[in-house]
Amino acid sequence: MSDPLLSVRDLKRHYPVRSGILKRKRGAVRAVDGVSFDLQAGETLAVVGESGCGKSTLAETVIGLDEPTAGEVLFEGEPLAGTQSGGVLGSLAGGVDKAFRRRVQMVFQDPFSTLNERMSVGRIVAEPLVIHGEREDDRAGYVRELLETVGLDPDRHYDAFPHELSGGQRQRVGIARALALEPDLLVLDEPVSALDVSVRAGILELLRDLQAERGLTYLLISHDVSVVRQVADRVAVMYLGEFVELGDLGDVLDDPAHPYTEALLSSVPRVCAAPDPDDRIRLPGSPPDPSEPPAGCRFHPRCHLRERLDDEDAARCVAEDPALTERDAGGEPRPGGDGRTVACHFRPAAVGITDRNPRE
Ligand SMILES: Nc1ncnc2c1ncn2[C@@H]1O[C@H](COP(=O)(O)OP(=O)(O)OP(=O)(O)O)[C@@H](O)[C@H]1O
């Protein structure tokens, strides 16, 4: 396998919590707290998790919109300034970073707030070209081509303003703008969650077609497992700033190995049938405060599996922070390979649990 397009190593983004007149630092919100992954060219990795688990912070830190507290981001094997070996992000100066800024673009969640209402569609899509001094000779013609590529009508939409467009059309404008500099990697932050259900399928189909035609690589951020299922090749499940499971789409979604993944999925309707309410795993309470994550496994206070462990094993969940370790498809530890990784000390089979649902 060739080198990954993007590698993220132990990335952290902590926001200081300050209080008092002197605004002294009292602690830190650990929004992203030691995340690592590789992204191969042409693949889609989805990051899924509940609201507040750190997905958007991860996306923004990876793309350089936010400054990492620690860790490293490598693009085609080269570390970026602003991550561990490069110093402060404000000085994005090196050649790698200039290239990175062109080759990595973001599609934002809300096409209603991210398009400049005072600019025409043609100007919005051309803006990255203007900033980078690109295609001065035939900018308008190229922008018209881009509009066609994303399913808009250049004759109708080039001179239109955002308020004249539907939500789906606005998101198509956002995608055209992101494509203008011919990037390799698109970071898609909840690309359809602000849209009506009826237009979501069209946008997801467009993203799939663009990937097939242009060989694009996607980092998809979503809280919606049904969206992830339609687009992703691999899935990372995020909880309280950490990845708890990472693996191929089918492995993770059809046979989750981490109890949090099980709980997250048990509330999601399958394609044909809604889940039987009695089969759901109920996640008690809400996620803990990310400025004071629980000791040991961060999921342990809400874990349905832990309730079924004997005292000695249950104490391990509180005492030890499990690392993401390699497992085989059945969730058992294995020596090496590039399969799925899971951060949990236990597998139900290993502790004699066959029915993981704690209802009875
Ligand atoms: N600028 C900031 N200052 C302080 N805390 C922040 C800041 N941005 C995010 N946070 C906190 O970091 C944690 C992760 O937030 P983030 O927005 O990344 O989560 P998310 O999974 O994308 O959630 P959502 O889908 O609701 O946006 C949250 O507890 C949030 O309150």
pLDDT at 32 over 70: yes
Which amino acid residue places its CA nearest to atom 29 of ligand 1?
52
pLDDT score recorded for residue 279: 58
pLDDT at 73 over 50: yes
* pLDDT digit string, tens, across residues 116-146: 999 999 999 999 999 999 998 899 999 999 9
Whether the CB of 13 sits within 6 Å of ligand 1: no
Q: Which of 232, 267, 295 is the last residue of a domain?
A: 232
Take residue 158 and report the two structure tokens written for it.
């080039």
Q: Is residue 244 part of a domain?
A: no
Q: Is residue 147 part of a domain?
A: yes
Beta bridge partners of 6: 39, 75
Q: Which of 198, 232, 266 is the last residue of a domain?
A: 232
Whether the CB of 54 sits within 6 Å of ligand 1: yes
The average pLDDT across 153-170 equals 96
> pTM value?
0.89
Q: Is residue 315 part of a domain?
A: yes
The average pLDDT across 173-190 equals 97
* pLDDT digit string, tens, across residues 289-300: 999 999 999 999
Are 88 and 198 members of one domain? yes
Are 88 and 160 members of one domain? yes
pLDDT at 338 over 80: no
Which amino acid residue places its CA nearest to atom 20 of ligand 1?
52
Nearest alpha carbon to residue 305 among 281, 328, 278: 281
Least-confidence region, from 48-62, 181-195, 232-246, 330-344: 330-344
The average pLDDT across 28-52 equals 95
The average pLDDT across 3-25 equals 87
Mean residue pLDDT of the chain comes to 85
Are 262 and 169 members of one domain? no
Q: Which amino acid is at 219?
A: L
Are 194 and 326 members of one domain? no
Q: Is residue 167 part of a domain?
A: yes
Are 91 and 212 members of one domain? yes
The average pLDDT across 19-40 equals 87
Q: Which of 179, 200, 232 is the last residue of a domain?
A: 232
Are 227 and 259 members of one domain? no
Are 301 and 179 members of one domain? no
pLDDT at 329 over 80: no
Cβ-based neighbours of 344, under 8 Å, separated by 6 or more: 244, 257, 258, 259, 297, 305, 322
The average pLDDT across 161-166 equals 95
pLDDT score recorded for residue 21: 74
Task: State ipTM.
Answer: 0.97
Are 325 and 224 members of one domain? no
Take residue 319 and report the two structure tokens written for it.
């005492």
Atom of ligand 1 nearest to the CA of 56: 22
Q: Is residue 16 part of a domain?
A: no
Are 182 and 261 members of one domain? no
- CATH number reported for the structural domain that contains residue 105 in this entry: 3.40.50.300
Query: For a substitution probing ligand 1, which of 56, 193, 237 has the most ligand atoms within 8 Å of its CB?
Result: 56
Strands 24-39 and 78-79: unpaired
Higher pLDDT, 212 or 83: 212
The average pLDDT across 137-158 equals 97
Q: Is residue 142 part of a domain?
A: yes
Are 96 and 182 members of one domain? yes
How far, in Å, from the CA of 50 to the mean position of ligand 1? 11
- List C-alpha distances in Å: 302 to 78, 294, 299: 39, 11, 6
pLDDT score recorded for residue 332: 61
Are 221 and 271 members of one domain? no
Q: Structurally, how many domains does the chain consist of?
A: 2
Which amino acid residue places its CA nearest to atom 16 of ligand 1?
54
Region of 87 (left: φ > 0; alpha: ψ -120 to 50; beta: rest) is: left
Q: Is residue 20 part of a domain?
A: no
- Within the chain, residue ranges assigned H as helices are 55-63, 95-103, 121-131, 139-149, 154-157, 167-179, 197-214, 225-231, 249-254, 259-266, 311-319
Q: What confidence category does residue 345 fall into, taking pLDDT thresholds of 50, 70 and 90?
A: confident
How far, in Å, from the CA of 330 to the mean position of ligand 1? 33
Are 54 and 136 members of one domain? yes
As a whole number of angstroms, the distance between CA 199 and CA 242 comes to 32
Q: Is residue 225 part of a domain?
A: yes
pLDDT score recorded for residue 91: 41
* pLDDT digit string, tens, across residues 80-114: 865 654 444 444 444 557 788 889 999 998 877 88
pLDDT score recorded for residue 161: 96
Strands 70-75 and 44-48: unpaired
Domain carrying residue 98 = 40-66+84-232
How far, in Å, from the CA of 57 to the mean position of ligand 1? 6
Least-confidence region, from 152-161, 239-248, 279-288: 279-288
Q: Which of 23-27, 235-239, 260-264, 281-285 has the highest mean pLDDT?
A: 235-239
